[in-house]
Amino acid sequence: MAPIRANSILPAHREDIELHTADGLTLVGELARPLDREPVATLVCLHPLPTHGGMMDSHVFRKAAWRLPALAGVAVLRFNTRGTSSTRGTSEGTFDNARGERYDVAAAIEYAEFAELPNVWLLGWSFGTDLTLKFGCDPSVAGAILLSPPLRFSQPDDLRIWAETGKPLTALVPEFDDYLRPAEAVSRFAAVPQAEVIGVDGAKHLWVGDAETVLNEVVTRVAPGVPVPLPTDWDGPMESGDSSAYADRTVAAFSEVPVTGPEQRTA
């Protein structure tokens, strides 16, 4: 047995993919699936603001793709929204302040549908939570999990739509978030009766040091038959990722730089 570390890559079937949007763009991404079985669920990851370092390789999503296919039987689809770059490459187009990104979300959901990936859940983080709320309530989506939702670009009507569908919606809210903390989140998400708001003690917007907590909460909801907490050791082949490749592409500056887009609303 060897400990699973931050840069550990567990066995999976991984393939580079391309998504094609209705407005003519090609987006780059990756699909990681269990190596020896059909997936029990699928995560479509929507990353933080690309103007502040967000991308498909943002650390929680990277760890999800490196671990969950093997540990939980969960497929993980990550991609760069329009104009976003990572080591995988750069998606066509330019950042559009949660407008044109509606086509990016639709393309990812469509890919999962055509690939016959089961039990599709959206996993949004920060800006990705706004994309989830605005554009993700699709008939083929089972539910959504929101990490550090700022509720900046999404509108009350977006919450109303989720409320009407009854689809499960879980918000993981850091105790020390930069934009929306647990008490206010409870108030804001009261518009969605089925919404579950979980405050995470000691956590911050970037989830540094808390990725394992996030992954356990995610698996509990998308694959409830999988025991948690997930294993922290692995008895089998394991590779190591090059974490230095992301040293200059971190969301660590996110709280230091003013965010473009509409003003933050209050409860």
Query: Averaged over 235-245, what is the pLDDT?
Result: 86
Q: Is 254 helix (H, G, I), strand (E, B) or coil?
A: helix
Contact 27, 18 (CB under 8 A): yes
Dihedral angle, C-alpha 85, 86, 90, 95, nearest 10 ° = -30
CA distance linking residue 52 with residue 255, whole number of Å: 9
pLDDT class for 254, splitting at 50, 70, 90?
Answer: very low
> Tell me, what's the pLDDT at 242?
80
CA distance linking residue 19 with residue 28, whole number of Å: 6
Full set of structural domains in the chain with CATH:
11-229+246-256 (3.40.50.1820)
- 70-109 pLDDT, tens per residue? 999 999 999 999 999 999 999 999 999 999 999 999 999 9
**What element of type H or E holds 220?**
helix 211-222
Report yes or no on whether pTM surpasses 0.85: yes
- 112-137 pLDDT, tens per residue? 999 999 999 999 999 999 999 999 99
> Tell me, what's the pLDDT at 249?
54
pLDDT at 248 over 60: no
**What element of type H or E holds 125?**
strand 120-125
